[in-house]
Amino acid sequence: MPDQSIPQARTSDSAVREPVSDGGQGISRRALLGTAGATGLVLGAAGGAVGYASAPARATPLTSVGSGRAMFHGKHQPGITEGLQARGHLVAFDLAAGAGRKEAAALLRRWSATADRLMAGEAAPHDDTDVARDAGPSSLTVTFGFGHSFFGRTGLEKQRPGALDPLPDFSSDQLDKARSDGDLWVQIGADDALVAFHALRAIQKDAGSAARVRWQMNGFNRTPGATAHPMTARNLMGQLDGTRNPKPADADFDKRIFVPASGEPAWMANGSYAVVRRIRMLLDDWEKLSLTAQEAVIGRRKADGAPLSGGGETTPMDLEKADAKGEYVVPINAHARITRPDRNGGAAMLRRPFSYHDGIDAAGTPDAGLLFVCWQADPLRGFVPVQRKLDRGDALSKFIRHESSGLFAVPGGAAGGEYVGQRLLEG
Active site residues: 241
List all residues 6 or more positions away from 359 whose beta carbon is below 8 Å from its beta carbon: 366, 367
- Decide: 4 and 257 in contact? Cβ < 8 Å: no
Characterize the bridge pairing of strands 30-34 and 49-52: antiparallel
- Decide: 374 and 352 in contact? Cβ < 8 Å: yes
What are the CA-CA distances from residue 45 to residues 150, 242, 259 (Å)? 39, 26, 30
**Do you know the residue count of the chain?**
427
- Distance separating alpha carbons of residues 70 and 29, to the nearest angstrom: 18
List all residues 6 or more positions away from 364 whose beta carbon is below 8 Å from its beta carbon: none
Q: In the chain, what is the straight-line distance between the N-terminal and C-terminal CA atoms, in Å?
A: 37
Nearest by Cα to 283 from 150, 399, 167: 399
CA dihedral for 301, 303, 305, 310, sign (positive or negative): negative
HSE toward the beta carbon, residue 194, CA cutoff 13 A: 10
DSSP 3-state percent helix, strand, coil across the chain (nearest 5) = 25, 20, 55
List all residues 6 or more positions away from 113 whose beta carbon is below 8 Å from its beta carbon: 125, 419
